[in-house]
Structure 1
Amino acid sequence: MSDFQGRVFMLLDPELIKMIAIKNFDHFTDRRPTFWNSNAKNPKTILNRTLFTLSGNNWRNMRATLSPAFTGSKMRLMFELVLECCENMVRHYRKQLTDSSSVEYDMKDIFSRFTNDVIATCAFGIRVDSLKNPNNDFFINGKKTTRFQMLSVFWRVFAINLFPRITDALGIELIAREQLEYFSELILKAMETRNSKNIVRPDMIHLLMEARKGVLKHQHQRENEQNDGFATVRESEIGQAQTNFKMMDVDMVAQCSIFFTAGFDTVSSCLMFLVYELTINPDVQQRLYAEVLQTAKEHEGLPLSYESLQNMKYMDMCVSESLRLWPPIPLVDRLCVSDYRVDDGRLHFTIEKGAGISIPIHGLHRDSRYFPDPERFDPERFNDRNKVCINMGAYLPFGVGPRNCIGSRFALMEVKAIVYHMSMNFRFVRTENTPVPMKLTNRSASMGSDRDVIVALQLRKNE
């Protein structure tokens, strides 16, 4: 097939996906520049500097520089910040409920506010309370940043691709200039304050500042990280960062901006879909609650630890199955950077340089050849016995190969932590306003429901 950028190959075979996106990654190192100008010269341009959009050696250098900031040990440093947001959210809704009440809430809205507060504290080093203060500047600008309505996206992408010089001169990007400047000012002021006052805070700005100094890279070489889920890519798979690579202020702003854009909507949607499935599958919800109680009992009143969260097997099974049914990104792409000959004994053709590759994650996750009865929410697919049988070329919730999501560890930690705390305190109850069956929207470029996902919260008593 083809689009306005040229020829595109749709990959439907998991083995071919692994061969192209992993084994022969050197032929497909870049993403297709669909919503950014890869040749932008405007110094205020942000999006073409992010890890998501960089290409070639620029991407390799940035990925190798940032990878040490996303290891399990660094996630442990930020775990307390995430816990603060979880506990604040639980306190807020406990105050609104009595022992006998059951109150309906829009799950997308409450989890958008939660992820906003997590990103504010973990990425930007500021504390906001989007539950108590729903119209705070950070939340409002965040909503505007990630409100990718189809018509607006279409015209911006259309203009960027057809009139790159004009849009570059005017500073037009997918995200409005007003929001980019707002977040840029926050980040630059935070870095200036920390440098002048020697402030150390275990958040993303600190990790980026350390990465720029090369401190994290040196530490990373001494660490022997344990794979705790979707591990970050080893530097040996992407090439070492160049010794003369320098991360400028604008590069740091770009990484924080994409961290917000990627984490705000995708994580809140992931939580919305997961709670929806727990609501309409009360037996699964009850089993998860039992594991939560057991974990809390083992802590003897102490706060949840990062290690205990990673050891919750049924929690991981539920999250993994929800990501299968409702992957945050329904499709990923790659750009062929040098001619590639496909010859696996069945297929014989050439993917020319400049052609695109498209991998339909949502379609693969719903394919009965790889997941029997694919429309059913069944966490048992991911138990110890069954998960080893899953073709990992057909299960790609965080992308595939060296260009997978660098923040997957953080996203999983965030999702599991809030589900743990919410499940401990509340029962998720289906009402007549809960959208069953779930229908996806066609009005947004991201994964979402076509109407509000309403679920009632009910305080748990001594069960």
Structure 2
Amino acid sequence: MILESIVLFGLLAILLYKWSTSTFEFFEKRNVPYNKPLPLIGNQKDFIFRKVSMFENVINHYNQFDTSIFGLFDLRSPAYGIRDPELLKQITIKEFDHFVNHRSAIKDGGLLDKAVNNLRDQKWKDMRSTLSPVFTGSKMRQIFGLINEVARESMEYLKKNKETHTDFNIKDYFTRFTNDVIASAVFGIKVNSYKDETNEFYVMGKRVTNLTIWQNFIFFLYANLKYVMRLFKVQLFDKKDTDYFLYLVMNAMRYRQKNKIFRPDMVNMMMEARGLFVNENDKKTSQNKEWSDDEIVAQFFVFFFAGFEPTSILMSFAVHELMANPDCQEKLREEILEVKANLDGKPLTYEVLQGMKYMDMVVSETLRRWPPAVVTDRECNKDFHYKDEKIDVTIKAGDYIWIPIAGYHLDEKYFPDPLKFDPERFSDENKGNIQPFTYFPFGTGPRICIASRFALLETKAILFYLLSEFELKPSCKSSIPMELKTGVINLAPKVGFWMNLVELSDKN
């Protein structure tokens, strides 16, 4: 019996090894340079064994090659790494019809499947055209009042709680801010996560954005056993969590439609897109596509999922760099105080904020130095042939494209002294020197992040208020230079974002 068990175990081990390495000749057959992978984990050894962060992992893969295309094994899945700006332009713009879709890693039948970033082909085009009017400049102008209101409330809390200003956890502060902005501007509900630290909306946000060990394991299983996982419909999120958002959105829509309530938030904008509002003649507005409740709610869910954590990360790295570079901080403060003086007690407006050049330079440089999304992808849907002096390959339908955003942003060929935080790269005099398709923090082409304007708007708003009232100083807990947490997908510091806040009024 023991011998039979040993033999069975040995056979299973051999089969597992054969299966896990069955793709490993992929690039050799295509004469594409690559590094030798390991069974199951491919070329992700350093990341999986927590030696590097995902940010460093992406940059390391990018820097190992000097060709326009290189091979990478993302676990056991082969991926073509793209490290040439002109080829990137070809893939994401000129030959977009060959690379319409993102790779479908998770297909669990849940809300994420129906979110715009996971939709495919015509379904994606239809949803994108439905959502695009929601994120125009005119709509952002309408929604700015809601963002501004939350920003002012957050500053009132900060000024009243002076005991928190030493060794201040700025990431927690920004997470609560983005939570309250999303609640107000996206879902149309009023919460204050500073006064009520355990409100249901905030707690639910933490639940769905802080992935558990089990959820990360589900990601791993989908990457290696996607057909088995889809067969058994293994869910990434608990149904009661996604039902919370379904209930929230649909109830709000029904109530507003019944009571003819208008509020300049995303609920109203999606109701307009869906044709649920009546005009003066009591007729429905026109619409191009009929969407199910799940499909509508899925867009709110992904806005929450993407906006809750990545935007607070952007804010946190921005203030970290301003803290570590006091000359940049002072220059931005001078611009803010000048704008504030010109407002002469009037509220901050969308137009005024958008006209702040140095503010835009600081945020742009933060996105270059610390892009919240360090990598993106595409899936080939029609064979695509590429040839240069070193590479001659046909990328076939179903093949996976890996686009290392962080690699481009930290490449000294495109950004000299790339580790230096230098907002002047994006000045009017210098930004024209940036080579196209080397800077794309929100992606590029038709698949660019649809909510990028929203993220930039709330980031600039909170920076305006924070720096108009406080000086950012290092604390004994601050990480200078920044050390990143290893073994996690999110861009995160090893010890957190800590600083001291000094009220400007106390210095005068």
Using structure 2 for the length normalisation, give the TM-score.
0.81
Residue identity in the other structure for 1:2: F
Structure 2 residue 203 is the aligned partner of structure 1 residue 140:
yes
What is the match of residue 50 of structure 1? 115
Structure 2 residue 168 is the aligned partner of structure 1 residue 124:
no
Provide the rounded CA distance (Å) in 2 between the counterparts of 1:213 and 1:5. 45
Q: Which of 261, 269, 275 is the matching residue for 1:207?
A: 269
What is the match of residue 433 of structure 2? 389
Question: Structure 1 residues 383, 258: CA separation in 2 closer, same or farther (over 3 Å shift)?
Answer: same
Offset, 1:392? 2.7
Residue identity in the other structure for 1:116: N
Offset, 1:105? 1.1
Offset, 1:122? 0.8
Structure 2 residue 428 is the aligned partner of structure 1 residue 366:
no
What is the match of residue 275 of structure 1? 319
Q: Which of 217, 232, 235 is the matching residue for 1:173?
A: 235
What is the match of residue 223 of structure 1? none
Provide the rounded CA distance (Å) in 2 between the counterparts of 1:450 and 1:153. 22
Provide the rounded CA distance (Å) in 2 between the counterparts of 1:64 and 1:163. 33
- How many residues of Structure 1 are paired with residues of Structure 2 in the alignment? 429
Provide the rounded CA distance (Å) in 1 between the counterparts of 2:455 and 2:152. 18
Provide the rounded CA distance (Å) in 2 between the counterparts of 1:390 and 1:152. 42
Question: Structure 1 residues 164, 348: CA separation in 2 closer, same or farther (over 3 Å shift)?
Answer: closer
Per-residue CA deviation, residues 110-148 of structure 1 (Å, 9 max, x unaligned), is 100000000000111101110111111110110111113
What is the match of residue 348 of structure 1? 392
User: Identity of paired residues, percent?
Assistant: 39
Residue identity in the other structure for 2:133: P
What is the match of residue 9 of structure 1? 80
Residue pair 1:366, 1:374 contacting (<8 A) in 2 also: yes
Provide the rounded CA distance (Å) in 2 between the counterparts of 1:128 and 1:154. 30
Larger Cα Rg: Structure 1 or Structure 2?
A: 2
Offset, 1:344? 5.2
Offset, 1:348? 2.7
Structure 2 residue 416 is the aligned partner of structure 1 residue 416:
no
Residue pair 2:257, 2:276 contacting (<8 A) in 1 also: no
What is the match of residue 161 of structure 2? 96
Per-residue CA deviation, residues 233-272 of structure 1 (Å, 9 max, x unaligned), is xxxxxxxxx9863122111100000000010000000001
Offset, 1:155? 1.6
Moved more, 341-350 or 254-263: 341-350
Question: Structure 1 residues 162, 322: CA separation in 2 closer, same or farther (over 3 Å shift)?
Answer: closer
SS of match in other structure, 1:341: strand
SS of match in other structure, 1:457: strand
Provide the rounded CA distance (Å) in 1 between the counterparts of 2:262 and 2:355. 30
Question: Structure 1 residues 293, 271: CA separation in 2 closer, same or farther (over 3 Å shift)?
Answer: same
Task: List alignment gaps of at least 5 residues for structure 2.
Answer: 1-71, 278-285
Structure 2 residue 131 is the aligned partner of structure 1 residue 87:
no
Question: Structure 1 residues 114, 162: CA separation in 2 closer, same or farther (over 3 Å shift)?
Answer: same
4+ aligned runs moved over 6 Å, structure 1: none
Offset, 1:331? 0.2
Residue identity in the other structure for 1:203: D
- The 5-angstrom pairing of residues 287-326 of structure 1 reads 287-326=331-370
Residue identity in the other structure for 1:391: Q
Provide the rounded CA distance (Å) in 2 between the counterparts of 1:3 and 1:96. 47
Q: Which of 300, 305, 329 is the matching residue for 1:256?
A: 300
Residue pair 1:148, 1:446 contacting (<8 A) in 2 also: no
What is the match of residue 198 of structure 1? 260
SS of match in other structure, 2:167: strand
Provide the rounded CA distance (Å) in 1 between the counterparts of 2:228 and 2:413. 47
Moved more, 386-395 or 174-183: 174-183
SS of match in other structure, 2:414: coil
Q: Which of 115, 124, 127 is the matching residue for 1:59?
A: 124
Offset, 1:31? 0.3
Q: Which of 404, 414, 421 is the matching residue for 2:448?
A: 404
Provide the rounded CA distance (Å) in 2 between the counterparts of 1:164 and 1:245. 31
Offset, 1:167? 4.8
Residue pair 1:340, 1:351 contacting (<8 A) in 2 also: yes
Residue identity in the other structure for 1:407: A
What is the match of residue 233 of structure 1? none
Residue identity in the other structure for 2:104: P
Provide the rounded CA distance (Å) in 2 between the counterparts of 1:284 and 1:4. 41
Provide the rounded CA distance (Å) in 2 between the counterparts of 1:148 and 1:380. 37
Q: Which of 19, 24, 29 is the matching residue for 2:90?
A: 19
Provide the rounded CA distance (Å) in 2 between the counterparts of 1:32 and 1:169. 18
Per-residue CA deviation, residues 169-200 of structure 1 (Å, 9 max, x unaligned), is 76533333232111111111111111111111
Offset, 1:154? 3.4
Q: Which of 247, 259, 262 is the matching residue for 2:291?
A: 247
Residue identity in the other structure for 1:200: F
Offset, 1:90? 0.5
SS of match in other structure, 1:103: coil
SS of match in other structure, 1:333: strand
Residue pair 2:336, 2:467 contacting (<8 A) in 1 also: yes
Offset, 1:335? 0.2
Structure 2 residue 114 is the aligned partner of structure 1 residue 70:
no
Residue pair 1:148, 1:445 contacting (<8 A) in 2 also: no
Offset, 1:357? 0.5
Provide the rounded CA distance (Å) in 1 between the counterparts of 2:258 and 2:165. 50
Residue pair 1:331, 1:360 contacting (<8 A) in 2 also: yes
Question: Structure 1 residues 196, 17: CA separation in 2 closer, same or farther (over 3 Å shift)?
Answer: same
Question: Structure 1 residues 290, 244: CA separation in 2 closer, same or farther (over 3 Å shift)?
Answer: closer
